[in-house]
Structure 1
């Protein structure tokens, strides 16, 4: 199994889209007239996090976009701290560039944080939200330090085992074949000079002052009007199930689905469960509009 076999059944485009002053890398698939679904990865991640999800969603008729977020992957890297309003601005610029007035947002970890903030500030642009092991609602110095330490080692040491260990944090049960391929993809990204120069900006939200400034508080989540699905792994190393329950309680009408034997990447590790759940949720959200 590889990234290419995951994508082999669909017609897709690996694109670079001009979004304001930043060039954004995207994987696009599905009919041009389909409802837009935008997939947002986690901290220091990249669009390959969704290779097991794009085919099912594109085949169901959605216009899919998995993007490298601002400063991430092969997207442009302006020298400014990666804080949530900047990520939201970049997301909206991407939507404008592809002609999407509204989009369903699927956000994993940091991506869910960005999607929730966008939905609270720009409700007319967000048709629905899926929050996959979303971060940003708590300040946990131990978790923040683990993320900083593991990412710096992966990016700044030439030994690829550090990149593999950083990626392994996301899985409860490591997928040897696809995991090794994703390790190589991530290693190449992490060891690009532009990525290394920008690493401090990507880790800005792991610093106490910046995190406090950007925290996704209950009063902000209460403003979210979009239909919302929270998905969590019961072995998520960055947040336990009570955190997911609190997020669900804070967002009006949100529902929660817990995946057993699953870590921080439910859309990937449990794709066979996640994809039909997501498609059913999207169909229901579309009918409700």
Structure 2
């Protein structure tokens, strides 16, 4: 199936933001992480678009969302997502984020709580100190994605986002080519904006306002072998938001939404349906009054 979706664009704070909307039903905003564009949500769009209207964007500075502007902060990225909700005429939406995108989703909910129907936070953390920590293993993984031949760099990137058992008997070259379509770039190369996104993430910390998100339906999903957003970070995040649900997916790593879409999409649909149910009942009651 083609990755091409009908793109829209709008100018916001010095950047022409690019996004697409697919599906029918309650609105869902999907926000990606470092070095990944809107196409990275394709497995979730394919699984959810028959029930939900999915908005996927290229974060500013990535892909078709250019130029990035002078400053790049998590707060600005949250404001970008709100601007696209305005462009769609959406008063509120469910908000979903992966990795850095999960941190952006938290800031969005903090900035405009009344516009967020629920949060789905995948392979993420409450503070950018987690993925930017100076852990020797993580540093070595990152270094290997920058050194050697292009083929070596692609394979190193795979080891960073996939579990060892996923790679044990895989055709790594074919897998790298498949994921490049979803990441919207060759895995041997880092997009120019990646370091700016990394710095923005490093300076962000949602911990102080997590308690204020109490009552907002929240799903936190971690993967057992994720070196970037380990399950301990997901557990801490879920514990910080009263009422949040935490799920750990075994045999998976940071790329779990791409590699195990059926499992992830089932969790997302269950979460979105549960969050949307009371909202639909409230609207029906209002219309009948």
1:267 equivalent in alignment to 2:257: yes
User: Shift of residue 150 of structure 1?
Assistant: 5.8
1:237 equivalent in alignment to 2:232: no
2:104 aligned counterpart, secondary structure: helix
1:55 equivalent in alignment to 2:46: yes
User: Shift of residue 249 of structure 1?
Assistant: 0.9
Question: Do the aligned partners of residues 13 and 239 (structure 1) sit closer, same or farther apart at CA in structure 2, a change above 3 Å counting?
Answer: closer
CA contact (8 A) 1:37 1:106 kept: yes
One of 221, 226, 231 as aligned partner of 2:210: 221
User: Shift of residue 223 of structure 1?
Assistant: 1.1
What TM-score comes out, normalization by structure 1 length? 0.81
Question: What CA deviation, in whole Å up to 9, does each residue of 1:219-265 have, x standing for no partner?
Answer: 31111142100001011111322221111111021001110001012
1:14 equivalent in alignment to 2:6: yes
Question: Do the aligned partners of residues 91 and 164 (structure 1) sit closer, same or farther apart at CA in structure 2, a change above 3 Å counting?
Answer: farther
User: Shift of residue 268 of structure 1?
Assistant: 1.7
CA contact (8 A) 1:163 1:186 kept: no
User: Shift of residue 146 of structure 1?
Assistant: 5.8
Unaligned runs of 5+ in 1: none
1:182 equivalent in alignment to 2:179: yes
Question: Do the aligned partners of residues 202 and 53 (structure 1) sit closer, same or farther apart at CA in structure 2, a change above 3 Å counting?
Answer: same
User: Shift of residue 46 of structure 1?
Assistant: 1.5
More divergent stretch after superposition (163-172 vs 223-232): 163-172
User: Shift of residue 274 of structure 1?
Assistant: 1.1
Question: Do the aligned partners of residues 57 and 80 (structure 1) sit closer, same or farther apart at CA in structure 2, a change above 3 Å counting?
Answer: same
Aligned residues: 265
Unaligned runs of 5+ in 2: 280-289
One of 28, 33, 45 as aligned partner of 1:42: 33
User: Shift of residue 285 of structure 1?
Assistant: 0.1
CA contact (8 A) 1:30 1:63 kept: yes
Within 2, Cα distance between the matches of 1:142 and 1:121?
30
One of 160, 183, 186 as aligned partner of 1:169: 160
User: Shift of residue 171 of structure 1?
Assistant: 1.4
Question: Do the aligned partners of residues 150 and 87 (structure 1) sit closer, same or farther apart at CA in structure 2, a change above 3 Å counting?
Answer: farther
| Rg (Cα) greater in structure | 2
CA contact (8 A) 1:119 1:226 kept: no
Over the aligned positions, Cα root-mean-square deviation in angstroms equals 2.7
User: Shift of residue 281 of structure 1?
Assistant: 0.9
Question: Do the aligned partners of residues 243 and 200 (structure 1) sit closer, same or farther apart at CA in structure 2, a change above 3 Å counting?
Answer: closer
User: Shift of residue 136 of structure 1?
Assistant: 4.3
Question: What CA deviation, in whole Å up to 9, does each residue of 1:93-112 have, x standing for no partner?
Answer: 11111222111111000010
User: Shift of residue 125 of structure 1?
Assistant: 1.3
More divergent stretch after superposition (19-28 vs 219-228): 19-28
More divergent stretch after superposition (237-246 vs 169-178): 169-178
Within 2, Cα distance between the matches of 1:147 and 1:105?
30
Poorly superposed stretches of 4+, deviation over 3 Å: 143-151, 174-179, 188-191
1:104 aligned counterpart, secondary structure: strand
Question: Do the aligned partners of residues 205 and 22 (structure 1) sit closer, same or farther apart at CA in structure 2, a change above 3 Å counting?
Answer: closer
